[in-house]
């Protein structure tokens, strides 16, 4: 019998085909080996998995439901749309799934402090939550520009007890925050652990974070089957780094289900106006791994834009690059305007305000439903939209229903 996909990928060096790996400075090789070996051991440990299961049930509120979006399906007039409700996970998004598991790993390793970078602050908030739960210190590096822009998340991190360190060099956004966080981590790899926020970064993070998120797909498959007696025809998720998408895809990767990753097309096709990495990018190494990335004329990470602040990343998880290359996934896009339209439609027709990131998947799925009236489509609704309401209402007037 063939081995299940998840057991065969990545290889022992963290490669998915030619993508992935660990392109790191020599000082990081030892601490990353420690994390890798600990994960290899703990991922087979009953005690660790049992603890994680308990946390997910009693603290995070898992399993999150699968919901049949009857009104939205009727509005689209085509296929049937279902939502995996990660917006109901504690803290309002899927990110806590891997943050709790990373923090539990840090606890087992005897670490005292979690370190990470954050762009819009979502990963920072989820990690600060996990740190509070486990009694760990937490230090979040964030560009000065992002700190000014994402005030509510900065306040949340501080209330949760995290220290927010501003990155003050260069453009003062995500890239500088990554540099700053790595520098702080290098100063003490003994008592600190680096906790990456998506299926990106050097090996073993793309694999670890995927495995931690796979709970989404595993639950969804069982729930969907219980509701309908079959598998969905399509599974759809937005892709920034790619963790919520890999979480959903993991449940269906060996099944005859079409997997769709939806990238942000922003304001248009010109470089700088979007963050559609797989759609327009080329092979390249950044942040310690080989994948597809958007490059500027000098070959550096290009400026990107999306209305979804959690999906404007100029690279993408290596597994997504691989799965697209072998033809296992389909890569689609949604623009800012399409995402806002889906944001309002889901709110008005179902009473669910989605995160703008998740709204990209909803927008794409609405088009897919119209084109495939016989099909069932399962969307990973990665997060709730409370964080986005002020921005949306200021820039996009409420449309009449219909
Ligand atoms: C961070 C975030 C994303 C994007 O991250 P992935 O790793 O691509 O899943 C998507 N949706 C929400 C709600 C987020 O907070």
Shortest-distance Cα residue to atom 3 of ligand 1: 310
Number of alpha helices (DSSP H) and beta strands (DSSP E) in the chain: 16, 14
Number of structural domains (the chain) is: 2
Q: Residue 86 sits in which domain range?
A: 59-92+214-395
| Statement to judge: residues 254 and 172 lie in one domain | no
Q: What is the pLDDT of residue 150?
A: 85
| Separation CA 355–CA 344 (nearest Å) | 11
Of 150, 168, 196, the domain-final residue: 196
> 119 CB less than 6 Å from ligand 1?
no
| Statement to judge: residues 167 and 266 lie in one domain | no
Q: What is the pLDDT of residue 212?
A: 98
Beta strands in 123-281 (DSSP E): 137-143, 163-167, 192-194, 234-238, 258-266
> 244 CB less than 6 Å from ligand 1?
yes
Closest CA to 106 of 184, 14, 39, 201: 39
Residue 204 lies in a domain: no
> 173 CB less than 6 Å from ligand 1?
no
| Statement to judge: residues 350 and 240 lie in one domain | yes
Residues assigned a catalytic role? 95, 117, 382
Mean pLDDT by 10 residues, the chain (402 residues): 89 98 94 95 96 98 98 97 98 97 97 95 96 98 90 95 95 86 94 96 97 98 98 98 98 98 98 97 96 95 92 95 98 98 98 97 98 98 95 96 84
Q: What is the pLDDT of residue 120?
A: 87
Of 167, 196, 225, the domain-final residue: 196
Partners of 164 in beta bridges: 140
> 198 CB less than 6 Å from ligand 1?
yes
| Statement to judge: residues 64 and 189 lie in one domain | no
Of 196, 228, 245, the domain-final residue: 196
| Statement to judge: residues 127 and 255 lie in one domain | no
C-beta of residue 286 within 8 angstroms of C-beta of residue 301: yes
| Statement to judge: residues 126 and 183 lie in one domain | yes
Residue with tokens 């996990």: 130
Q: What is the pLDDT of residue 171?
A: 82
| Statement to judge: residues 305 and 319 lie in one domain | yes
**Whole-number Cα distances in Å, 379 to 230, 244, 287, 354:** 16, 10, 29, 12
Q: What is the pLDDT of residue 356?
A: 96
Residue 54 lies in a domain: no
The CATH number assigned to the domain holding 352 equals 3.40.50.1100
| Separation CA 257–CA 277 (nearest Å) | 23
| Statement to judge: residues 340 and 373 lie in one domain | yes
**Whole-number Cα distances in Å, 114 to 143, 145, 193, 249, 372:** 18, 23, 5, 28, 45
Q: What is the pLDDT of residue 160?
A: 98
Instruction: Report the DSSP pairing between strands 15-16 and 19-20.
Output: antiparallel
Mutate-to-test residue for ligand 1 from 98, 121, 382, highest number of ligand atoms within 8 A of CB: 382
| Statement to judge: residues 157 and 253 lie in one domain | no
The answer, as to whether pTM is greater than 0.85, is yes
Q: What is the pLDDT of residue 1?
A: 61
Q: Closest ligand 1 atom to the C-alpha of 243?
A: 7
Instruction: Report the DSSP pairing between strands 66-68 and 80-85.
Output: antiparallel
Q: Closest ligand 1 atom to the C-alpha of 213?
A: 9
| Statement to judge: residues 260 and 273 lie in one domain | yes
- State both tokens at 47: 């005690």
Q: Closest ligand 1 atom to the C-alpha of 311?
A: 4
| Statement to judge: residues 148 and 184 lie in one domain | yes
| Statement to judge: residues 250 and 364 lie in one domain | yes
> 311 CB less than 6 Å from ligand 1?
yes
């Amino acid at each position: 019998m063939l081995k299940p996909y998840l057991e065969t990928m990545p290889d022992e060096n963290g490669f998915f085909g030619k993508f992935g790996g660990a392109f790191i400075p020599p000082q990081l090789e030892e601490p990353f080996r420690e994390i890798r070996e600990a994960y290899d051991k703990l991922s087979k440990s009953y005690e660790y998995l049992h603890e994680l299961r308990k946390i997910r049930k009693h603290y995070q509120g898992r399993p999150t439901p699968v919901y049949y979006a009857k009104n939205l399906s009727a509005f689209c007039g085509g296929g049937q749309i279902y939502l995996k409700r990660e917006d109901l996970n504690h803290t309002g998004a899927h990110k806590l799934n891997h943050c709790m598991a990373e923090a539990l790993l840090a606890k087992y390793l005897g670490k005292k402090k979690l370190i990470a970078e954050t762009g819009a602050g979502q990963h920072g908030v989820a990690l600060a939550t996990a740190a509070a739960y486990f009694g760990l210190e937490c230090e979040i590096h964030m560009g000065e520009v992002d700190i000014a822009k994402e005030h509510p998340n900065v306040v949340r991190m501080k209330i949760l007890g995290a220290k927010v360190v501003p990155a003050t060099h260069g453009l003062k956004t995500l890239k500088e925050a990554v540099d700053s966080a790595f520098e702080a981590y290098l100063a003490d790899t003994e008592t600190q652990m680096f906790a990456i926020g998506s299926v990106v970064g050097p090996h073993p993070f793309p694999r670890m974070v995927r495995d931690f998120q796979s709970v989404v797909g595993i639950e969804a498959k069982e729930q969907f089957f219980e509701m309908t007696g079959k598998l969905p025809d399509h599974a759809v998720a937005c892709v920034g780094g790619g963790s919520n998408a890999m979480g959903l895809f993991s449940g269906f990767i060996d099944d005859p289900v079409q997997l769709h990753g939806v990238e942000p097309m922003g304001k248009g096709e010109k470089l700088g106006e979007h963050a559609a990495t797989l759609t327009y990018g080329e092979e390249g190494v950044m942040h310690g791994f080989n994948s597809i990335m958007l490059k500027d004329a000098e070959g550096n990470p290009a400026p990107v834009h999306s209305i979804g602040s959690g999906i404007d990343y100029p690279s993408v998880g290596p597994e997504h690059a691989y799965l697209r290359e072998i033809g296992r996934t389909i890569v689609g896009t949604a623009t800012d305007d399409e995402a806002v339209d889906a944001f309002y439609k889901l709110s008005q027709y179902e009473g669910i305000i989605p995160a703008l990131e998740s709204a990209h998947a909803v927008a794409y799925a609405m088009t897919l439903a119209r084109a495939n009236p016989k099909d069932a489509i399962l969307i990973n609704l990665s997060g709730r939209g409370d964080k986005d309401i002020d921005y949306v209402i200021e820039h996009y007037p409420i449309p009449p229903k219909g």
